[in-house]
Amino acid sequence: MIMKFIIILIVFLSYASCSPAEKGGSSSGSGSEDAGDVIDLPSPDTDGGITINEALSGRRSVRSYSESDITMEELSQLLWSAQGITSPHGFRTAPSAGALYPVEIYVAREEGVFHYIPQSHSIEKVMRGDVRGGLYRSALYQSSVRDAPLSLIIVGDVKRTRVKYGERAERYVLIEGGCVAQNIALQAENLGLGTVVIGAFNDGEVRAVLNLPDDYLPVAIMPVGRK
């Protein structure tokens, strides 16, 4: 009886020491996740930070970064600024024609490619492996994409907007993508990070690197790093 109790205790302690991913739940972003794993992001700070005027005054295009990584808290704040939900009605930080929200955000970092899920403020790992080299080549060999610890890729699903707005859909998607890019840039300034909005890239190559559908429109690549 005592031996049985000891065995049960050992099994319990072994399970308790496992990571959330090993238990079958969401993980904390250790880099060992498989494609399809969902990582819950830390709650964003919606109260503190510098003033909007300070962020506007300080925002610059930054193309060189230190080797320090971006924390999960910082990534959470950047993604919330890009497409975070700020209303019980589902409205987000960036405006969207007809509130259709065609913009999707992908994160490319050493551990793989992740897709932001605004509804749960989480990221889903959609690809394993470091694709930053391929993204660098698709962006015409711009070193900031190669050297940054991560890049945020703003992508538009134009057909989502075309259902309502027809031939003006692409224009509206690009406007929305620009609003998202500015939100990211201002949040980066608030966090003491640097970024730059890159529009010079081969659309087809970006889609291939990220394994995106053919009808997705890459809008911008934003490498992010510490100044």
- pLDDT-based confidence at residue 3 (cuts at 50, 70, 90): very low
**Residues 14 and 39 both lie in one domain:** no
Whether residue 20 is predicted with pLDDT greater than 60 in this model: the reply is no
**Residues 122 and 169 both lie in one domain:** yes
Closest CA to 195 of 160, 152, 165: 152
**Residues 123 and 189 both lie in one domain:** yes
For residue 179, give the H/E element and its range. helix 169-191
Its domain, for residue 16, covers 1-30
- What is the C-alpha to C-alpha distance for residues 61 and 189, in angstroms, rounded to an integer? 10
**Residues 93 and 22 both lie in one domain:** no
Tally the domains of the chain.
2
Which residues make Cβ contacts (< 8 Å) with residue 105, sequence separation at least 6? 79, 82, 83, 115, 116, 152, 153, 154, 155, 180
**Residues 15 and 40 both lie in one domain:** no
**Residues 166 and 75 both lie in one domain:** yes
pLDDT digits (tens, 9 = 90+) for 137-167: 999 999 999 999 999 999 999 999 999 999 9
- What is the C-alpha to C-alpha distance for residues 110 and 147, in angstroms, rounded to an integer? 11
**Residues 18 and 119 both lie in one domain:** no
Whether residue 27 is predicted with pLDDT greater than 80 in this model: the reply is no
**Other CB atoms within 10 A of residue 116 CB:** 24
**Residues 11 and 60 both lie in one domain:** no
Query: What per-residue confidence (pLDDT) applies to 4?
Result: 45
Amino acid identity, position 199? G
**Residues 15 and 60 both lie in one domain:** no
Query: What per-residue confidence (pLDDT) applies to 24?
Result: 38
pLDDT digits (tens, 9 = 90+) for 166-189: 999 999 999 999 999 999 999 999
- pLDDT-based confidence at residue 21 (cuts at 50, 70, 90): very low
For residue 155, give the H/E element and its range. strand 150-157
**Residues 40 and 130 both lie in one domain:** yes
Mean pLDDT for 196-213 is 98
**Residues 25 and 37 both lie in one domain:** no
- pLDDT-based confidence at residue 50 (cuts at 50, 70, 90): very high
**Residues 123 and 190 both lie in one domain:** yes
> pTM of this prediction?
0.85
